[in-house]
Amino acid sequence: MADAAFEQLLNLEMEMATFTSDWLHCDQLSNYVAQMVSHDRRDPLRHSNLLSSALNELLEMSFRSEAQEGELACVFYRHEQIERIELSFPCPSQQHRFYAELVRGLKHGGKLANYVKVIADETAPLEQAILLGLAVNYDAEIELRASAAEALTFVVDLPLERLLT
């Protein structure tokens, strides 16, 4: 259930098999959707550029889950200065636990120090760099929500309008 304060803007659904058939889909989808979501923001072009960057990171992460079955669902909401992305994609339970651990790690202090460490460490999981990067560079609040079996949902709140000013 979405937070009542958040207004739904857009709902995108795509077969995972179609989505993962081409890496360019991450770039194309993030740009296309970001332009639509950002059109009525104060500076639509820069808002769209920033939203596309954050969204692309999430789409690339779901692309790397390599699931072929099921659906990718991406729902956009807005409340005041915050854009919320709810991204659901198929994910085996083992991988689910891995993501849950990463998201738990974001709740502890020292996000910035961890991020700096992860940037320099080529053995660190890319997913960790992505989630820490969203938290540190975009001031994102990230939650992991229980979803259908063998699927998970990231809920990412992005205060982009504030970052732009």
Partner 1 sequence: MTANNPSPVFTTQFDTSNQEFVATGVFRPRSIADIADDLLLLRDKIEKVHGVFYVNLKRVTHMNSTAFGALARVLVDASYSRPELKIVVLASSVVTWATQMFRHLGELSPNISMEIYDSAFYPGQAFVEDKSFIPILRTQTKMTWRHERTILPRHGLRGGMAIADICCGIGDFAMLVRKEFDPARIVALDHSVASLDYARSVAEDFCVRDIEYTFGDASQMLFESDQFDFVTCRHSLQIFDRPELLLRELYRICKPGGRVYITNEKNSHCLGEPRAETIQWTYNEVAKLFRHFDMDVEMGPKGSRLLLDTGFEDVRIESFMVTNHDGDPQEFADVIEAWEDVYAGEMSARRGDSPEFVARFRQGFRDHIFAALHPRGYAGWPIWAASGQKPL
Query: Shortest distance, CB of residue 163 to partner 1, whole angstroms?
Result: 6
Q: Which residue bears the tokens 């560079």? A: 137
Residue 48 or 88 with smaller CB distance to partner 1: 48
Q: Rounded CA gap, 36 and 43, in Å?
A: 13
Of 6 and 115, CB closest to partner 1? 115
Supply the DSSP symbol for 14.
E
**Taking the CA of residue 47 as centre, how many other CA atoms within 13 Å lie in the half-sphere pointing to its CB?**
21
Residue with tokens 């939203």: 51
Taking the least distance from each CB to partner 1, the nearer of 63 and 76 is: 63
Judged by beta carbon, residue 49 or residue 81, the one nearer partner 1 is: 49
Minimum distance of partner 1 from residue 41's CB (angstroms): 9
Q: Which residue carries 């890496």 as its tokens?
A: 23
Give contact residues for partner 1 (rule: CB under 8 A): 22-24, 26-27, 39-40, 42-46, 49-50, 52-54, 56-57, 60, 112, 115-116, 119-120, 122, 126, 129-130, 133, 136-138, 163-164
Minimum gap (Å) between residue 141 Cβ and partner 1: 16
Strand duo 7-15 + 71-79: pairing: antiparallel
Nearest to residue 29, comparing CAs of 54, 65, 2, 64? 54
In the complex, the smallest distance separating the C-beta of residue 3 from partner 1, rounded to whole angstroms, is: 25
